[in-house]
Amino acid sequence: MMYTTRTSPLTRGVVHLVLVAYTLLCIGPVLLVAINSFKSRAAIFRSPLSLPDATTFDLIGYRTVLGQGVFARYFLNSMIVTLGSLGCVLLFGAMAAFALSEYRFKGNKLLGLYLSLGIMVPIRLGTVAILNMMVASRLVDTHLALILIYTAQGLPVAVFILSEFMQGISKDLKDAGRIDGLSEYTIFFRLVLPLMRPAVATVAVFTMIPIWNDLWFPLIVAPGEATKTVTLGAQVFIGQFVTNWNAVLAALTLAIVPVLVLYLLFSRQLIRGITAGAVK
Amino acid sequence: MDSLQLQNIRKSFGSMDVLKGVELDVTRGEFVVFVGPSGCGKSTLLRIIAGLDDQTSGDVRIDGKLMNGVPPAKRGIAMVFQSYALYPHLTVAKNMALALTQEGVAKAEIDTRVATAAAMLRLEALLDRRPSELSGGQRQRVAIGRAIVRQPSLFLFDEPLSNLDAALRGGTRVEIAKLHRQLGATMVYVTHDQIEAMTLADKIVVMNGGVVEQVGRPLELYNRPATKFVAGFIGSPAMNFIDGATAARVNAAAVGVRPEHLVVGRDGSWSGTISHAEHLGADTMLYVEVPEIGLFTARIPGDVAHDVGDIVGLTPQEGRLYRFDREGRTMTG
């Protein structure tokens, strides 16, 4: 099955054509944002598709954004929220997956299903209830509020994917640890988690991007100046009558950078994990 | 004093009984092998001895101390797994030392013990390597080394040779036997390979369907199998069984004769056509199709001229015919 694409150069060409087309489709808008962020306002509207040249090159957008000063704060907020929730999702997701796949207890399967149920129910349906909860627990306008929400949002997929992977880890290895007197926590953190790296990287990428990009919950739960995230912060440039496109595009372009770095970090792990498994 | 004592061990998973009351005494220094087909409960029994699984009922005693509910690390045991189960992030030396570090043994003592074990297993040159840089045989030696350094009162082996290729398996088998002589420790070994069982064991425990069929020295099992199952399981190729009228003539439900105890001649008790012949040099295996009875296997020393299609007679050697009753028990007299 794997080799069918190798047999015919024509099939291979078509497959690559489709892939390239899809890639362009995905990258196109992002590239457009990045290109136009380096152009003057007039040039953005006159020829939005052309690259910046000597006459149209303008850093006014970046100067506006960085000149605001608060933007560094917004970036920091986004980072805190994303990394905080990512950490929680991966830690608790992996621990739950370990418990579900390692220990036999009554209702094990049912609990696994229950935990995965969240995949099918969008968390935004519960926005009103969540907001009530946050108000009642005085968490509105805190990073913690967002971290808690995003942890809840990311856990179902994390538990689902990680418990599948967890089942593939040698039972003997864990038993050897038990015989050598390692605690269950040591077995989990020192033996199991390092072997789970590729799966954890996959889950990290899936979890991270929607959190970084989210506008909904920061707007509702943490709109205050001190907790504003980048996506929410960029909205200040979008006015009811006038929109500072230079600034919006520059802010969005800057917002791509950290998440891109994180992605590259994880995807390296991901690829290393895949090849290590293949060679063994 | 007994090194290991099992009393009426039962284990059920849900409504399925995996072990149905196992009794066993193992004296100090003995090499005991649990053998049986897959699913007979031998691995489960080993895991219960190790404390990795809990028995549903019954008592496990190690060195006379009741071990029910005691965690694996506190039982004075060490275990070698089929898949080696080395810690991938630790060097060979640290793999061997980990259990001792956990127990809080002094650093100098750990170093001596690791060095001794490494010398015993020819691992000195590999101490700084990671498991991923070792071959299968080396990994298994490290796994054995990890068990030795703990100086346990009981060694447990869970099919340790199954992942090795045939040539390496023979060599490692000899090494384990040598190790047993050197250490004089009590060892419990699980395998489905009856050759490993026959060559290593002081005492073989043949298990089938969650019960112990027979316990005895290897040749005792070969010469005096207690049941039809043991007769068929010990010895390779397996014993030939004949039921029906032939067996009824000697008042048995079935009779059995081992391939090596059949004499091939022009005529004999049974005559049939050779359907396949395997010439191994030292032995020749003849598969003889006897009409109305079935396929016989005969093992003849040396190379013989018989070939496929020949009609030959088969006669069991004097006193080498086993009789079994309806419940599969061996009939004596």
Q: Which domain holds residue A116?
A: 25-46+53-279
**Residue A184 pLDDT class (50, 70, 90 cuts):** very high
Q: Best interface-test mutation with B: which of A180, A187, A191, A193 has the largest number of B CBs within 10 A?
A: A180
- CA of B255 vs chain A CAs: smallest distance (Å): 42
The answer, for A243 touching chain B at a CB cutoff of 8 Å, is: no
- The pLDDT of A187-204, averaged and rounded, is 88
> How does the average pLDDT of chain A come out, rounded?
86
Q: Is the peptide bond before B237 cis (omega within 30 degrees of 0)?
A: yes
> Which tokens belong to A42?
């007039």
Cβ count near B251 (within 10 Å)? 9
- For residue B194, pLDDT over 70 is answered with yes
Which of A176, A194, A195 is the closest to B81 by Cβ? A176
For residue B94, pLDDT over 90 is answered with yes
Share of chain B above pLDDT 70, in %: 99
B251 dihedral zone (left: phi>0; alpha: psi -120 to 50; beta): left
User: Nearest CA to B190 among B143, B155, B158, B156?
Assistant: B158
Enumerate residues 6+ apart whose C-beta is below 8 A from B260: B299
Domain assignment present for A209: yes
User: Looking at residues B69-89, what average pLDDT do you find?
Assistant: 92
Please indicate whether, in this complex, the C-beta atoms of B72 and A176 are within 8 angstroms of each other. Answer: no
Candidates A90, A126, A100; CA nearest to A201 is A90
Determine, yes or no, domain membership for A8. Answer: no
In this predicted structure, the answer to whether residue A280 has a pLDDT above a threshold of 50 is no
The token duo for B237 is: 């190729």
ipTM > 0.90 (yes/no): no
The answer to whether residue A172 neighbours chain B at the CB level (below 8 Å) is yes
In a domain, A256, yes or no: yes
Among the listed ranges A136-150, A259-273, B66-80, which one has the minimum average pLDDT value? A259-273
Cβ of residue A168 closer than 8 Å to a chain B Cβ: no
State how far the Cα of B20 lies from the Cα of B113, in Å rounded to an integer: 40
Size of interface A-B (CB pairs under 8 A): 57
**B189, B201 in Cβ contact below 8 A?**
yes
* Domain CATH code at residue A121: 1.10.3720.10
Tell me the mean pLDDT in the region B186-199. 93
- A6 part of a folded domain: no
The top-scoring range by mean pLDDT among A47-61, A249-263, B194-208 is: B194-208
Which of A178, A194, A195 faces B72 most closely, judged by CB atoms? Answer: A178
Q: According to the model, what pLDDT value does residue B265 have?
A: 87
Q: Do B266 and B250 form a contact (C-beta atoms < 8 A)?
A: no
pLDDT band at A279 (very low <50, low <70, confident <90, very high): very low
The pLDDT tens digits of the residues spanning A13-30 come to 999 999 999 999 999 999
Better-predicted residue by pLDDT, A86 or B245: A86
B249: pLDDT strictly greater than 90: no
* Cβ atoms B61, B11 nearer than 8 A: no
Measured distance CA(A237)–CA(A247) in Å, rounded: 7
Distances (CA, A) of A178 to A181, B84, B144: 5, 14, 16
What average pLDDT does chain B have?
Answer: 92
In tens, the pLDDT along B33-48 reads 999 998 899 999 999 9
Q: Could you give the CA distance from residue B293 to residue B271 in angstroms, rounded to a whole number?
A: 10
**Tokens standing for residue B189:** 């070994």
What are the chain B neighbours of A181 within 8 Å (beta carbons)? 72-74, 99, 102-103
CB atoms within 10 A of CB A11: 12
Once rounded to an integer, what is the mean pLDDT over residues B212-232? 94
* Region B130-153 average pLDDT: 92
Which residues of chain B are within 8 Å of residue A170 when distances are taken between CB atoms? 83, 85
Residue A5 has pLDDT above 80, yes or no: no
A181 contacts B102? CB cut-off 8 A: yes
**A100 Cβ contact list (under 8 Å, min separation 6):** A108, A111, A112, A115, A159, A163, A166
> Does the CB of B76 have a partner CB in chain A at under 8 Å?
no
| Cβ partners under 8 Å of residue B248, min gap 6 | none
Confidence label for A278 from pLDDT (cuts 50, 70 and 90): very low
pLDDT by residue (tens digit) across B298-324?
Answer: 999 988 888 899 999 999 998 889 999
Q: Which DSSP letter does residue B127 get? A: T
The number of domains in chain A is 1
pLDDT exceeds cutoff 80 at A59: yes
**Confidence (pLDDT) at A6:** 57
B47 contacts in chain A (CB < 8 Å): 175
Residue A230 in domain: yes
State the pLDDT at residue A272.
63
Contact B81 A172 (CB under 8 A): yes
The pLDDT, as a whole number, for residue B297 is: 94
Report the residue of chain A nearest B160, measured CA to CA. Answer: A172
Nearest-Cα distance to chain A for B196, in Å, is 21
Whether residues B79 and A179 touch (CB distance < 8 A) is answered with yes
User: Residue A223: which residues within 8 A CB-CB, separation 6 or more?
Assistant: A141, A232
pLDDT for the residue numbered A271: 67
Q: Is B36 in contact with B233 (CB distance < 8 Å)?
A: yes
A255: its two tokens: 């917002």
Question: What would the mean pLDDT of A8-16 be, rounded to a whole number?
Answer: 88
More reliable by pLDDT, A97 or A275: A97
To the nearest whole Å, the CA of A182 is away from the closest chain B CA by 7
* Distance in angstroms (rounded) separating the CA atoms of residues B147 and A165: 29
Residues A186-213, mean pLDDT to the nearest whole number? 88
Residue A13 within any structural domain of the chain: no
Q: Is A29 on the interface with B (CB under 8 A)?
A: no
> Any CB–CB contact under 8 A between A196 and chain B?
no
Q: What is the mean pLDDT of residues B222-237?
A: 93
**Contact (Cβ atoms closer than 8 angstroms) between residue B187 and residue B180:** yes
Q: Rounded to a whole number, what is the distance in angstroms from the first to the last CA of chain A?
A: 21
Distance CA(A90)–CA(B140), nearest Å, equals 34
Query: Residue B324: is it exposed, middle or buried by C-beta count within 10 angstroms (0-12/13-18/19+)?
Result: buried
Q: What is the mean pLDDT of residues B82-89?
A: 90
Select from A173, A175, A181 the Cβ nearest to the Cβ of B99. Answer: A181
Q: Determine whether the interchain pair B81/A195 forms a contact, defined as Cβ–Cβ distance below 8 Å.
A: no
pTM of the model: 0.80
User: Mean pLDDT over residues B83-97, rounded?
Assistant: 92
Question: Any idea what DSSP says for residue A58?
Answer: -
Residues of chain A with C-beta less than 8 angstroms from the C-beta of B78? 179
With 90 as the cut, is the pLDDT of residue A4 above it?
no
- A180 has a chain B CB within 8 A of its CB: yes
Residue of A nearest to B74 (CA): A181
Domain architecture of chain B: domains with CATH: 2-226 (3.40.50.300), 237-331 (2.40.50.140)
Cβ pair A179:B103 closer than 8 A:
no
For residue B6, the model assigns a pLDDT of 94
Residue B233: both structure tokens together: 């399981």
Please indicate, yes or no, if residue A9 is contained in any of the structural domains.
no
Q: Do A175 and B52 touch (CB under 8 A)?
A: yes
Residue A18 lies in a domain: no
Are the beta carbons of A112 and A93 closer than 8 angstroms?
no
Cα separations in angstroms, A132 against A121, A137, A216: 19, 9, 16
The pLDDT value recorded for residue B112 is 95
Contact indicator for B314, B264 with CB cutoff of 8 Å: yes
Nearest to A179 among B73, B82, B86 (CB): B73
Strand pairing report for B294-301 and B254-257: unpaired
- Contact between B36 and B51 under an 8 Å Cβ cutoff? The reply is no
Strand partners, B9: B22
Q: Phi-psi bin for B41: left (phi > 0), alpha (psi -120 to 50), beta?
A: left
Tell whether B85 lies on the interface with A, counting CB pairs under 8 A.
yes
Letter for the amino acid at B185? A
Does the beta carbon of B77 lie under 8 angstroms from any beta carbon of chain A? yes
A277 has a pLDDT exceeding 70 = no
